[in-house]
Chain A
Amino acid sequence: MIKFLYVLLVWMPFSQLANAADVPQKLVITGSSTVAPLISEIAKAFEASNQGVRIDVQSGGSSRGISDARQSMSDIGMISRDLKPEENDLKGFAIAKDGICVILHKNNPITKLEDSQIVDIYTGKIKNWQELGGKDAPITVVNKAEGRSTLELFVNYFKLKNSDIKPHVIIGDNEQGVKTVAGNANAIGYVSIGTAEYDSAQGVAIKLLPIGGTSASIENVKNGKFPLSRNLLLVTTTEPNGLKKKFIEFARSKEVIGIVKQQYLVPITK
């Protein structure tokens, strides 16, 4: 017992001192499930180039990102929106943008839809393209699976509840959405802009619709003109220093552009 106390009191402080340099440094990052996959990938790259650093990424929604950061449960929070005025105690660092666009089959004569028309299509009030000046054919409504951030952004923008939407097809990832619309001349769907722009450039039979008069492109997401988009942020309680600062700088650097694009998100760095 005495020996134990001896070790505890005398040796522990020394061992901690000795370890301070090479003890595994750890960052805990929690928050938005939209940002988490991106940060996980960035963290892997960061760990690979910084020996002894461990980064623990947990998702749980933007609100968890805020509350964990405030209560020091995490080192860095992740949110998939801008900071609200009442959150000015936190510091936010934009790392990427996320934008989604409405897509139709290439042969669909419709070239634009008002926001209210999109709402009516998705809630089942408009069932036929004829009502919108298209051909006489029933509309196939393609929706996203519950829990996907694309769905969240879509319903928030159009002020819908997922249970109001009357879908004909529910899809998982973006590519499945693109293939479903490309295979059905009367379908309407929404996917991440990164995917849609890439696929239509590759000649897949889809068409990107403008929203609120702004054409859907990565460029317009980047310059903030496209309304159906949001910022992805890292937040901290205090001005970041040390490892935190290093990681945030890395996440905003040119080195991660490839990773951001892989996640169908829009990089903010020039």
Chain B
Amino acid sequence: MLSNSILSPLRNELALVWLLRILALMAGALVLLIFAFLLNESLPILGLVGLSAFFSDPSWHPMEGFFNLTSMLLGTLYATAGSVLLAAPLGILSAIFCRFYAPTHVARIFRNLMESLSGVPSVVFGFWGLTVLVPLVNQIHPPGPSLFAGISILTMMILPTMAMAADASFASVPQNYLRGAQALGLSKSATLLGVVLPAAKAGLLSGLILQSGRAIGETMALLMVCGNVVQTPKNIFDPIRTLTTNIALEMAYAMGSHRSALFVSGLILMLFIVVLLIAAEGINRVPKR
């Protein structure tokens, strides 16, 4: 039956293909539509002050006509980089433990915990951060809401994504690789470093990209713990504002060029993610030795 339809596509098979094509087109067009919308909403301000104003103005005070977004772009970059640097090793190592060292029932509990952690809504993280973490940080180094608090919250949020992606990619390493390594008499650690990690590289990388994407896009939790002051942080205890929180904070009351400038934040954010994806694609394409 299956081979039949491959050889001679039936009429309803064709209908299915077209339906799928249309659905895929719609899904793809959605991104383009969003992009076009952002561009359209940004155009008034871009025509008025030009793109360079968003990087060369003295500050971000849209009501006074200053639109510098650089420190918020850096804020997004620092918070994302910091949390990915923490969550990636933590996630990968805990997945290695779970897959290769932990007894079965511990591994199962661990997986369940990671799954429930990934299901916690970001606003819950943010609320906990605002009422527990921020006052704690305040006692170490005032004022409390800071890049540090943001990175901590983000790390917690993206850790399960990384751990689950790593666990899944370790699980998909072919069994005969492992048996081969065993037959060669390799130790467990040598097997991990020499066989498992290289074989799981692609999966780990896509986990990395997924978690970076989540970190870049996170808004609510960061809004509550980062302090939202527009400045380039001098140290990790300085408050920051990210591009996403900027939109969330000011959208409700923004009008005219202020509103338009917020769409530019969105546009820059989107370009930022596109650059990240292209970079990831590039890394993935590097030929294997």
- By a beta-carbon cutoff of 8 Å, the part of chain A in contact with chain B is 33, 59-61, 137-138, 140, 145-149, 161-163, 167-172, 176, 179-180, 183-184, 186-187
Contacts and interface: CB of A to CB of B under 8 A. Distances in A.
B227 A168 contact: yes
B249 A184 contact: no
B145 A169 contact: yes
Contacts, number: 91
A147 B143 contact: no
B216 to A, nearest CB: 20
Given A140-B143, A163-B59, A168 B253 contact: no
Nearest to A161: B64
Contact of A169 (B227, B256, B258): B227
Nearest to B255: A60
Interface in B126-156: 130-131, 134-135, 138, 142-145
A172 B134 contact: no
A137 B138 CA distance: 11
Interface in B206-223: 223
B239 interface: yes
B142 A183 contact: no
Contacts of B250: 145-147
A169 B228 contact: yes
The 4 A-B residue pairs with the shortest CB-CB distance in the complex, in nearest-first order: A147-B253, A170-B228, A168-B143, A140-B143
Interface in B227-255: 227-230, 239, 241, 248-250, 252-255
A184 B135 CA distance: 6
A182 to B, nearest CB: 8
A176 B258 CA distance: 23
Interface of B: 59-64, 66, 130-131, 134-135, 138, 142-145, 223-224, 227-230, 239, 241, 248-250, 252-256, 258
B221 to A, nearest CB: 13
Given A60-B256, A183-B135, A184-B134, 15 more contacts: A147-B250, A149-B253, A162-B61, A162-B64, A168-B142, A168-B229, A169-B144, A169-B229, A170-B228, A170-B229, A172-B252, A176-B223, A183-B130, A183-B138, A184-B135
Contacts of A184: 134-135, 138, 142-144
26 contacts: A33-B253, A33-B255, A140-B144, A145-B228, A147-B62, A147-B250, A147-B258, A161-B64, A162-B63, A163-B66, A168-B142, A168-B227, A168-B229, A169-B143, A170-B230, A170-B239, A172-B223, A172-B249, A172-B252, A179-B130, A179-B131, A183-B144, A184-B135, A184-B138, A186-B138, A186-B142
A156 to B, nearest CB: 12
A148 B228 contact: no
A145 B134 contact: no
Contacts of B143: 138, 140, 168-169, 184, 187
Contacts of A145: 228, 249-250, 253
Contact of B63 (A137, A147, A183, A187): A147
B281 to A, nearest CB: 36
A163 B64 contact: yes
Contacts of B248: 172
A146 B61 contact: yes
A176 B143 CA distance: 15
A183 B62 CA distance: 30
B79 to A, nearest CB: 16
Contacts of A176: 130, 223-224
Most buried by B among A33, A60, A168, A170: A170
A61 B60 CA distance: 20
A60 B255 CA distance: 7
A61 B255 contact: yes
A160 to B, nearest CB: 12
A167 B61 CA distance: 13
Contact of B228 (A33, A140, A161, A171): A171
A241 to B, nearest CB: 31
A169 B255 contact: no
Nearest to B132: A183
B135 A140 contact: no
Contacts of A138: 142-143
A146 B254 CA distance: 8
A170 B71 CA distance: 15
Contacts of A170: 227-230, 239, 241, 249
A147 to B, nearest CB: 4
Contacts of A161: 64
B25 to A, nearest CB: 36
Nearest to B259: A147
Contacts of B134: 180, 183-184
Nearest to B253: A147
A216 to B, nearest CB: 23
Given A146-B250, A162-B61, A169 B239 contact: yes
A59 B64 contact: no
Contacts of B258: 146-147
A162 B254 CA distance: 15
